[in-house]
Amino acid sequence: METTLDLPVVKDQHAFNLKRWAEACADPVLASYEFRVETDRYGHPIMMPPPGFDHSAHQSEIAIQLHALMRGGKVLAECPVSTADGVKGVDVVWISTGRITKARRKNVLVQAPEICVEVISPGNTHDEITGKKQLYFEAGAEEVWLCDVKGRMTFFSKANRTQAVERSILCPAFPVVVGN
């Protein structure tokens, strides 16, 4: 005898992510924690400790450099982006004014910014960072940049997501090392 459960089906991942993100942001218990919160594809909150000093310093330096070099958009830190695997807080982004208008749904973007930057922490794994890079490209990023613990930058473009390019295409003047 086959039994089926009457469970809801997620037909629109972005709508589901937005609903669960709003609930998470309104939760007074989650708000009381001094942790960063993301969600997984099922809407479950994932809590992480705040980044360390070096991570934060790299984030700040990247944001300062992007702000100085890019026009026609905004530079944001810890930007919530709806992905196929829930809402992720991208360490640093640059998003054009036009994309903000199309992608913003309250406090979450349903399309990734043109540039998404992940600052790698000592606890990150290769698979974790590769997975995030893939999620950002799938969500519409033009470029994904990685900053290692020594401030060395690696740039990837949507044309070839697995092979690093020498410099950013969108911001070719961006330095290959930050924070030194």
Single-letter amino acid code for the residue at 17: N
Same domain, 96 and 159: yes
Same domain, 134 and 80: yes
| 180 belongs to a structural domain | no
- Token pair, residue 86, equals 């829930």
pLDDT bin (cut points 50, 70, 90) of residue 139 is: very high
pLDDT bin (cut points 50, 70, 90) of residue 92 is: very high
Scanning 104-164, the segments in alpha helix (DSSP H) are 126-138
Same domain, 142 and 75: yes
Instruction: Measure the CA–CA gap between 47 and 135, rounded to whole angstroms.
Output: 19
Average pLDDT over residues 154-176: 95
Indicate the residue among 5, 23, 46 that finishes a domain.
46
pLDDT digits (tens, 9 = 90+) for 11-44: 788 888 888 888 888 888 888 877 778 888 888 8
Same domain, 23 and 102: no
What is the domain-level CATH number for residue 122? Answer: 3.90.1570.10
Same domain, 61 and 143: yes
pTM, 2 dp? 0.87
Instruction: Measure the CA–CA gap between 4 and 72, rounded to whole angstroms.
Output: 52
Same domain, 134 and 93: yes
- Residue range of the domain that includes 139: 51-165
pLDDT at 43 (0 to 100): 86
Whether residue 77 is predicted with pLDDT greater than 80 in this model: the reply is yes
What is the overall mean pLDDT for the chain? 90
b/e string for 58-89 if b means 16 or more Cβ within 10 A? bbebbbebbeebbeebbbbbebbbbbebbbbe
pLDDT bin (cut points 50, 70, 90) of residue 180 is: low
pLDDT at 44 (0 to 100): 86
